[in-house]
């Protein structure tokens, strides 16, 4: 097992790029720790066990008083209880196999139903905007781009405020990098699905005015996204069905 772990962590030290710089130190620490643990298990641990676990001379009994006596009695009771439990389980093996299969089925169902991420994606009321311009872009150009981004973001009714930082982003530092922190309004002050449908339709109408030709590449009919599709209530569906039946 030790050799397997060392063979797993050793290739991480040869990764290239920024990822390699992170994993190289981790791999070196893990390989050194595993090798040191193996050396301890093969050399010092047997000698320490031989010193602590002394052989009881023939004819003598283990300690029956004090701490060691209480430990021996507790260990004996635990071992006998475990043996009796296993014996009872073996006598009713089919029943417990069915219970085990049910537990496995529930675990498989939860595995398919629960979110796959470590933390579920929830709206925390904050967004990060990472801006990266082409290499060589000046600070003035980056500032102009951030002003455009800020102008568009602040026009959204769900946005409360925005703070921009020039020269730094999660992609690196430089004149072509920028970062923005966007704070959203409270959930009660947001329009929701209906507001997004109206904005999507307005954007499509602006891209496809009535004077544009149907063959224009910008004005080809695109299907509604899931959040922009109109939703009919059950009462509206029943009313439409009744009208169709009367006709």
pTM of this structure: 0.34
User: What does the alpha-carbon distance between residue 161 and residue 18 come to, in Å, rounded to a whole number?
Assistant: 33
Contact between 188 and 125 (Cβ < 8 Å): no
Strand order in the sheet with 159-169: 126-132, 172-184, 159-169
* Homologous superfamily in CATH for domain 126-189: Multidrug efflux transporter AcrB pore domain (3.30.70.1430)
The residues facing 129 across adjacent strands are: 180
142 CB neighbour count, 10 Å cutoff: 22
What would the pLDDT profile of 52-105 be if each residue is shown by its tens digit?
A: 777 767 666 666 677 877 888 899 899 999 999 999 989 988 999 999 999 999
Residue 51: C-alpha distances to residues 36, 54, 71, 72, 135 (Å) = 21, 6, 19, 19, 67
Least confident window among 169-173, 195-199, 226-230 = 226-230
* SS3 of residue 126 by DSSP: strand
Q: Could you state, in order of their start, the residue ranges of all structural domains in the chain?
A: 2-52, 66-113, 126-189, 193-227
What would the pLDDT profile of 35-50 be if each residue is shown by its tens digit?
A: 999 888 888 888 888 8
* SS3 of residue 148 by DSSP: helix
């Amino acid at each position: 097992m030790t050799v397997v772990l060392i063979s797993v962590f050793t290739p991480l030290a040869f990764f290239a790029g920024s990822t390699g710089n992170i994993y190289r130190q981790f791999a070196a620490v893990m390989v050194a720790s595993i090798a040191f643990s193996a050396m301890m298990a093969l050399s010092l641990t047997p000698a320490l066990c031989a010193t602590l676990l002394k052989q009881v001379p023939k004819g003598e009994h283990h300690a029956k008083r004090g701490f060691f006596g209480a430990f021996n009695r507790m260990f004996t009771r635990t071992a006998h209880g475990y043996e009796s439990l296993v014996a009872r389980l073996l006598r009713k093996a089919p029943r417990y196999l069915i219970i085990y299969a049910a537990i496995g089925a529930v675990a498989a169902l939860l595995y398919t139903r629960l979110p796959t991420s470590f933390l579920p994606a929830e709206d925390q009321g904050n967004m990060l905007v990472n801006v990266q311009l082409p290499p060589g872009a000046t600070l003035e150009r980056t500032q102009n781009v951030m002003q455009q981004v800020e102008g568009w973001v602040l026009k959204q009714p769900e946005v409360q405020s925005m703070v921009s930082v020039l020269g730094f982003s999660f992609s690196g530092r430089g004149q072509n990098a920028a970062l923005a922190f966007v704070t959203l309004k409270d959930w009660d002050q947001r329009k929701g699905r209906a507001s997004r449908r109206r904005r999507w339709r307005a954007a499509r109408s602006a891209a496809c005015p009535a004077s544009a030709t149907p063959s224009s590449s910008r004005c080809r009919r695109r299907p509604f996204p899931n959040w922009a599709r109109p939703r009919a209530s059950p009462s509206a569906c029943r009313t439409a069905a009744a009208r169709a039946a009367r006709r």
